[in-house]
Structure 1
């Protein structure tokens, strides 16, 4: 499993999990029970140093779905473009072990105690040295600045630089590529394949085909022009390359880019 989101608020984590489940991505939420008592009016961003609790997190069950999940969160404004290294490939059982966190808190407490004792010693020495001197005019003490409170909103996580990977052909992009080919070739009959599979009847009906008769690739008749679009390669930024092949001609690799809900064809090779 791979962690894709974490937040001190369980409501945020459950909302992100619901968003991913709505897109058909299998997810799991960890560390949710310990945070249920802090929801609504009892919620606080200040962690109890004496009894720290791990933050709720959303994990992707299937690694193959991680790129699509990250793209959905990036589109929703919940992920940045670089990664701070907070995610983990550890199994779920390892994530529930608080031993390392407890040791770290214990070490921090020891350091704070030592620093406190050092400050007390330095203050005592200062009083001893300067107490025998003639007192100088009093200088107003500068009030110590209060630490800034933690932010109350969802903080977008950093996301690692993703390499180019293959994803299913977006419906809008497939429609744009097929219509471009139909407009260029102007066939009387054409059969369509998307990623090697038959398109849905609704997809065929939505195409601006002119006078051409369209059918799925498995129902192709003799003499019909075969149009295949496949292999959409992207880094998740909304741009990439797609392959278009007509009949037995050499396949073309087209650079494409998403512009809102529409797609543009940049060049062909």
Structure 2
């Protein structure tokens, strides 16, 4: 319990609404905005369903504020599954620390972060202030998507809130650390992209030979740690040789 405060549990049907999505799925919607407390309810519901495995459940797909529930209509009905889900109880997890916090080394600016100077100019900050703000924030892994291993990390400080680039890049190098609107993200592989590139990390965020294949899990915390060019190169070599173990903080008691 965060701060030693007791948490109250309420039924899901008192917290959410059910919305039909075709004839084999429905959404459990917990809110209408991107919010860490709402997102925590989404992922806790997914975890409870994974544990309970109710009859007819096929899979769940979490988003920022809702959970998509796929079911087999030959084994259950939307009404029956919604009744089961609605009776589940969720504790209010607002203020809870992430179960684990990844410390991600980042080389900011220069070739590693070609948009840092533009971001500084657009926000009225110095490059050093942009780095300090970005690296001084504890981010939450809201969801993963767009690319395997691409995590949407929030919430970016308001002072760094910028729209996407007007001209997306055709190629964004893997490991590029980027920002757009109130999100930060890391491109796991080379791909097109329209976010502002402010740095690069040598870590790998998707490996099909690894279990699980993605480094992050929704609900994790992420901190970015500025490093110099030499340290960045050394970590890249260690990653290539399989010697590097990412630094992970446990949740505070």
Q: Which structure features the higher share of helix residues? A: 1
TM-score (norm 1): 0.25
TM-score (norm 2): 0.26
Q: Which structure features the higher share of strand residues? A: 2
Work out which structure has the larger RCO, using CA pairs closer than 8 Å and 6 or more positions apart in sequence.
2
Larger Rg: 1
